[in-house]
């Protein structure tokens, strides 16, 4: 199970500046391109490659002490980033590593807030997945199902402040400290996710107005959003956020970031 996560972590680690704390399972640095399904690297893909600084991978047998933020690193043998993780393609609920990370942070910490919002988004995705299945073989009125899908899409679109807190606060701070690739990949994924959310909302509205239109495209878009957004959340929770914690070490900096995030 760690192999698939290691591939994703390796790609993120390649964008960490020399001397910064890398996520576990990092291997030799090369270039960051983009992520495919399950975080599999896309070799020679269409995404532009980002040159990054190289670094040595950490010794995973060492256990560094707590930092100035008061959060301790995840234990190497229990709940580490490479043990007990769910497959990146499922991601229906928090992994043990995610729970341990949240428990190590105060409730007002920006990362804790972002991960809590991820939990709410995951619940909406679970509902959307069930609604898509129901629309494919309806046991109740089609109009009711479409109404529920439209309402669900509205809630997912309403999570936009979450993305803004990342794009306008967390990601720029990581870039200021030399970490460019991972935030850029996540920002690009936000664009795709926004388009899918709006396509679902508009599709549900269009189908409600015309009962003769097939539901295939709406079902396809719903399933694609469920898959992509779960995968996106998994990568942020298990890779990007721990990387941010390893890069931004001062509690005062995190307090400032949390305050700035309140604007969104």
Q: What is the pLDDT of residue 18?
A: 41
- Whole-number average pLDDT of the chain: 77
Q: Which two tokens stand for residue 11?
A: 């790609």
Q: DSSP code of 166?
A: I
Q: What is the pLDDT of residues 200-233, one digit of tens each?
A: 999 999 999 998 999 999 999 999 999 999 999 9
Q: Which two tokens stand for residue 72?
A: 């301790």
Is the pLDDT reported for residue 237 higher than 60? yes
Comparison of pLDDT for 134 and 2, the residue scoring more? 134
Q: What is the pLDDT of residues 10-60, one digit of tens each?
A: 554 454 444 444 333 332 223 333 333 333 333 333 433 333 332 233 343
Cα(219)–Cα(221) distance, integer angstroms: 5
Phi, psi of 51 (to 5 degrees): -70, 140
User: Which percentage of the chain shows pLDDT scores above 70?
Assistant: 65
Q: What is the pLDDT of residues 128-164, one digit of tens each?
A: 999 999 999 999 999 999 999 999 999 999 999 999 9
257 band by pLDDT with thresholds 50, 70 and 90 = very high
Q: What is the pLDDT of residue 90?
A: 53
Task: Kindly list the structural domains of the chain, giving each domain's residue range(s) and its CATH number in brackets, ordered by start.
Answer: 109-264 (1.20.120.520)
Q: Up-side HSE of residue 236: CA atoms within 13 Å toward CB?
A: 28
Q: Which two tokens stand for residue 29?
A: 């640095």
260 band by pLDDT with thresholds 50, 70 and 90 = very high
- List, in order, residues 6 or more apart from 45 with CB less than 8 Å away: 33, 34, 36
Buried b (16+ CB within 10 A) or exposed e, 107-116: eebbbbbbbe
Cα(215)–Cα(7) distance, integer angstroms: 36
Q: What is the pLDDT of residue 159?
A: 97
């Amino acid at each position: 199970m760690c192999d698939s996560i290691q591939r994703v972590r390796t790609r993120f680690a390649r964008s960490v500046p020399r001397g910064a704390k890398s996520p576990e399972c990092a291997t030799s640095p090369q270039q960051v391109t983009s992520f495919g399904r399950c975080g599999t690297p896309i070799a020679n893909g269409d995404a532009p490659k980002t040159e990054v600084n190289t670094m040595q991978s950490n010794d995973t047998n060492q256990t560094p002490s707590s930092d100035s933020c008061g959060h301790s690193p995840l234990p190497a043998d229990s709940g580490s980033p490479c043990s007990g993780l769910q497959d990146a393609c499922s991601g229906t609920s928090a992994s043990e590593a995610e729970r341990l990370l949240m428990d190590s942070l105060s409730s007002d910490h920006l990362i804790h807030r972002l991960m809590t919002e991820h939990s709410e988004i995951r619940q909406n995705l679970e509902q959307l997945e069930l609604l898509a299945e129901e629309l494919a073989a309806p046991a109740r009125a089609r109009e009711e199902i479409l109404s529920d899908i439209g309402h669900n899409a509205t809630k997912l679109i309403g999570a936009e402040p979450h993305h803004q807190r990342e794009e306008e606060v967390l990601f720029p701070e990581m870039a200021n400290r030399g970490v460019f690739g991972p935030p850029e990949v996540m920002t690009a994924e936000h664009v795709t996710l926004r388009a899918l959310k709006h396509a679902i909302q508009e599709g549900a509205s269009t189908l409600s107005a015309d009962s003769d239109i097939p539901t295939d495209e709406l079902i396809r878009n719903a399933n694609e959003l469920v898959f992509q957004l779960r995968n996106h959340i998994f990568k942020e929770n298990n890779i990007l956020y721990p990387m941010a914690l390893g890069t931004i070490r001062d509690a005062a900096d995190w307090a400032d970031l949390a305050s700035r995030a309140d604007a969104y």
